[in-house]
């Protein structure tokens, strides 16, 4: 059976929000993040990170520094028994008008092509409006975490996620319930199926 896919934001979702994280030494996993990611792994999910990193385009740090930050993130996750299927990055500033900057679909589509999944079948998790909008545009199941900027975004009430959860631990429990209800462990729940109920 084909594995399901969870597409995750990085800052404020997996690791502590640093406002333009520019130092690998400052990579710190959020409390409960590794536990939630292990739970998703145990459900047969592949974990993909999709992240806007305009700090590169703004000149705050280099592409080499970003590579080192991601190497550190992978190291921290590996120490907790978590492996990522890929990290997809948009380095552009908003004024560039690229397709890869969330909520644009470019990175999600690229990940789908490379990893062999349909974006609409993925679960998209993040703490910002752009994460949820990305998922909604793709027809994915969306989960807003209250970590990072998530509590502020949820409180503003102008973002409609399918589920609002405390953190990645709760996100994993919700996804377990959804795939169990769909009787298809390892597969996402298409929006059309949700709307039919």
Q: Which residues are catalytic?
A: 9, 11
Q: How many CB atoms lie within 10 A of CB 147?
A: 26
> Can you tell me the distance from the alpha carbon of 45 to that of 184, in angstroms, rounded to the nearest whole number?
12
């Amino acid at each position: 059976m084909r594995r399901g896919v969870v597409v995750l934001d990085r800052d404020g979702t997996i690791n502590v929000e640093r406002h333009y994280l520019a130092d690998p030494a400052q990579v710190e996993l959020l409390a409960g993040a590794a536990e939630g990611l292990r739970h998703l792994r145990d459900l047969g999910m592949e974990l993909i990170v999709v992240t806007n990193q305009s700090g590169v385009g703004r000149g705050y740090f280099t592409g080499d520094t970003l590579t080192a930050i991601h190497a550190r993130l992978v190291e921290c996750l590996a120490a907790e028994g978590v492996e990522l299927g890929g990290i997809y990055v948009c380095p552009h500033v908003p004024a560039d008008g690229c397709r890869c900057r969330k909520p644009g679909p470019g990175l999600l589509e690229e990940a789908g092509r490379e990893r062999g999944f349909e974006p609409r079948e993925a679960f998209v998790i993040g703490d910002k409006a752009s994460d949820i909008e990305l998922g909604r545009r793709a027809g994915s199941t969306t989960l807003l975490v209250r970590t990072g900027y998530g509590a502020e975004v949820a409180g503003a009430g102008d973002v409609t996620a399918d589920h609002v959860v405390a953190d990645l631990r709760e996100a994993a429990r919700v996804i377990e319930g959804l795939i169990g209800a769909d009787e298809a462990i390892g597969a996402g729940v298409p929006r059309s199926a949700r709307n039919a109920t």
